[in-house]
Structure 1
């Protein structure tokens, strides 16, 4: 695995028109094969950061790189970027627009000018990956919220990106829907897709991610998820609470029920299994 981040922002600053700077001098990288949770309070810049990574916004200063190569913001450069990085926004209704599921998922590959056979293959594989093959002909306006979420993700997966960025993908889903989606993401990761997830759920981040990136007023702090989410100073700066799993592990170690270095329970079910 290369030491060069797969996609990175270098010295990036950005502010919206007539507003203050949202990000200033930011250095941030996504490493291939590492599941990354992006956390921070509302207004911390998570959405801006994701849109900069995916080319939806252009930095006022600094640069975006893929495999160490600077991205250009002309048509050719952005097309190349979007075959490597895809962003799925929080509300699927902001992303779905075609009449049926299959038509929506095919939109990106068709825009790449791929042959019809390749488009059909990509759509079929994306629908299967998201477990929505039976919905291919279903009108998008008749889908449940969870089905719309999966369809939006399938549209991004059909582009076969190396990095898939998801903004609050489990928001609005019931517990079963969340678990099914996490299983789907595990399958995508096993297939070689690097996944970045923005979330407010520190317990979910601790369970799912390899690394955590916490956005605070003085910048972004990235490191292994368990160590990062045990730092109460970073959590306070990012407006986050201590994860249940970190608190439970600390209590178990204090009472001699968990050895030093042994991973603690991440769910109530795992805690019950220790009894």
Structure 2
């Protein structure tokens, strides 16, 4: 049995006022428990799609459904949606506004009018999940870029959403910061949060995601990460290149070095496993 679809757009189109149509007749769903990478060229509609899924925008045509039920855009309906689906924008400064980290993370739970004890528990849980407990009282304007990103994500997960949507979460982070963030996302997934990541990095998408969605001028195409990222024609439509792992595997096969028919490795370790060990008895030069 396939995993349930938590949130979905069906036949959805959107155009900004006095602007061209950004998305047209989009069918898109987020399956529970799947890490989903959303890819496409600049202007393909990734940010618009994420805002539609989180209720920040309303489709001009089509509908948004939450756990199989149409979303109503009144206060009650939007509160239900936003406690289930949370969007974290690419620039954390677009979301941080409180004086301290703890105050910022507590905003969502307080807005739900939860009891004080519940608010404190959620803040402590979110700070611990993002490894920023030590920053609780630090003014947000004194945080590093990576710390601000973590604070913005903590504010989202303090609402305990079932779906967390991240817009380019690794952008602007150094390699160590990226690895720490990916480890954090792995922990969130283990705790039951479904994570969606918009990115331009096809190598990261291949390594991290279970599924990928490619936004192209002809529509949105979703499928298993390795198989979908091996579809050269779709990648070209989306303005993307082949992930290095898939390209390397194809080159090795072309030279008869590997016979595995899998689409390609996700990591350097998986690539090494594809290559047969050197034959024994090969003379070594003095």
TM-score of the superposed pair, with normalisation by structure 1: 0.96
Is the Cα contact below 8 Å between 2:85 and 2:161 reproduced in 1?
A: yes
Q: How does 1:106-185 map to 2 (within 5 A)?
A: 106-185=106-185
**What is the aligned partner in structure 1 of residue 73 from structure 2?**
73
Q: How does 1:169-208 map to 2 (within 5 A)?
A: 169-208=169-208
- Which structure 2 residue ranges, 5 or more long, are not aligned? 278-286
Distance 1:33 1:130, change over 3 A: same
Is the Cα contact below 8 Å between 2:226 and 2:263 reproduced in 1?
A: no
- Which structure 1 residue ranges, 5 or more long, are not aligned? none
Q: CA deviation at 1:109?
A: 0.5
Q: How does 1:46-65 map to 2 (within 5 A)?
A: 46-65=46-65
Secondary structure of the 2:13 match is: strand
Q: CA deviation at 1:33?
A: 0.6
Q: CA deviation at 1:5?
A: 1.2
Secondary structure of the 2:5 match is: coil
Deviations 1:162-185 (A, max 9, x none): 000000000000001001100100
* CA distance in structure 1 between the aligned counterparts of 2:108 and 2:258, rounded to whole angstroms: 49
* CA distance in structure 2 between the aligned counterparts of 1:226 and 1:12, rounded to whole angstroms: 27
Deviations 1:3-54 (A, max 9, x none): 5411000111110000111111111100001100000000000000000000
Secondary structure of the 1:6 match is: strand
- Please identify, of 36-45 and 256-265, the stretch whose mean Cα deviation from structure 2 is larger: 256-265
- Please identify, of 187-196 and 263-272, the stretch whose mean Cα deviation from structure 2 is larger: 263-272
Distance 1:262 1:62, change over 3 A: closer
Return the index of the structure with the highest Cα Rg: 2
Deviations 1:142-172 (A, max 9, x none): 0000000000000001010000000000000
* CA distance in structure 1 between the aligned counterparts of 2:31 and 2:268, rounded to whole angstroms: 31
**What is the aligned partner in structure 2 of residue 38 from structure 1?**
38
Is the Cα contact below 8 Å between 1:71 and 1:78 reproduced in 2?
A: yes
Is the Cα contact below 8 Å between 1:92 and 1:149 reproduced in 2?
A: yes
* CA distance in structure 1 between the aligned counterparts of 2:269 and 2:230, rounded to whole angstroms: 21
Is the Cα contact below 8 Å between 1:126 and 1:158 reproduced in 2?
A: yes
Is the Cα contact below 8 Å between 1:84 and 1:162 reproduced in 2?
A: yes
* CA distance in structure 2 between the aligned counterparts of 1:199 and 1:9, rounded to whole angstroms: 20
Distance 1:178 1:231, change over 3 A: same
* CA distance in structure 1 between the aligned counterparts of 2:113 and 2:125, rounded to whole angstroms: 18
Give the total of aligned pairs. Answer: 275
Is the Cα contact below 8 Å between 2:246 and 2:263 reproduced in 1?
A: no
Distance 1:2 1:72, change over 3 A: farther
TM-score of the superposed pair, with normalisation by structure 2: 0.92
* CA distance in structure 2 between the aligned counterparts of 1:54 and 1:29, rounded to whole angstroms: 12
* CA distance in structure 2 between the aligned counterparts of 1:104 and 1:24, rounded to whole angstroms: 36
Q: CA deviation at 1:270?
A: 5.1
**What is the aligned partner in structure 1 of residue 84 from structure 2?**
84
Runs of 4+ in 1 over 6 A off after TM superposition: none
Is the Cα contact below 8 Å between 2:146 and 2:177 reproduced in 1?
A: yes
Q: CA RMSD in A?
A: 1.5
